Amino acid sequence: MDEQELTQIIERNKIEQNGLIAMLYEVQSKMGYLPEAALKLISKNTGRSLIDIYSVASFYNAFSLSPRGKHIIKVCMGTACHVRGAVPILGELQRKLEIKTGETTDDKQFTLETVNCLGACALGPIVVIDDNYHVNTRAQKINAILAKYSQIHDDENEAME
């Protein structure tokens, strides 16, 4: 095998891998997660094994194999945030939402996740909800923070009535 042949193999597989990721990303964007039926259909139409597709889907944190909430809460549990009080914040979120890390509330409003470092350690502890950074957070602030997002939910329901 010469270098040109090896390059062709790498390029061909790189494109296929990106194609699969692009497909999964689009399904996730539209459905909020990757349903098994969608993965089976991708497998059928691409010829890739379901196990292969599952391994890609479960490798990337951006993909979820179960339904997620409307609001994604990420608590930074990196060293700096941990030292500054991330543990009681996570505990308070779990208590208020009545879910554990990785779970979604029954009303599908919130999914609780943890991350290892958001790269803004000096501002910790940090909680990110959707794309909003809540810095220097304290467990005592969790009620007020959650109320903002619940308010958005209430406002939307009122607008629909």
Q: What are 106's two structure tokens?
A: 């029954």
Q: Binding to ligand FES by residue 124, rule CB under 6 A?
A: yes
Nearest to ligand FES by Cβ — which residue?
Answer: 78
Task: Give me the helices (H) in 2-84, please.
Answer: 3-31, 36-46, 50-59, 79-83
- With a CB cutoff of 8 Å and minimum separation 6, the contacts of 13 are none
Task: Single out the segment in contact with ligand FES by CB under 6 A; choices: 16-24, 29-37, 114-122, 134-142.
Answer: 114-122
Cα–Cα dist 141/2, whole Å:
62
Q: Binding to ligand FES by residue 87, rule CB under 6 A?
A: no
Q: Which residues pair with 115 in a beta bridge?
A: 76
Q: Binding to ligand FES by residue 38, rule CB under 6 A?
A: no
Task: Single out the segment in contact with ligand FES by CB under 6 A; choices: 11-19, 49-57, 101-109, 112-120.
Answer: 112-120
Q: What are 22's two structure tokens?
A: 């692009």
Task: Single out the segment in contact with ligand FES by CB under 6 A; choices: 44-52, 79-87, 94-102, 141-149.
Answer: 79-87
Full strand arrangement of the beta sheet holding 110-115: 110-115, 71-76, 127-129, 132-134
> How near is the Cβ of 4 to ligand FES at its closest, in Å?
44
Q: Binding to ligand FES by residue 90, rule CB under 6 A?
A: no
**Out of 20, 121, 129, 152, the residue judged to bind ligand FES by CB under 6 A:** 121
Q: Binding to ligand FES by residue 126, rule CB under 6 A?
A: yes
Q: Give the up-direction half-sphere exposure of residue 10: CA atoms within 13 A in the CB hemisphere.
A: 7
Q: What are 79's two structure tokens?
A: 């060293």
Q: Binding to ligand FES by residue 32, rule CB under 6 A?
A: no
Positions touching ligand FES (CB under 6 A) are: 76, 78-81, 117-121, 124, 126
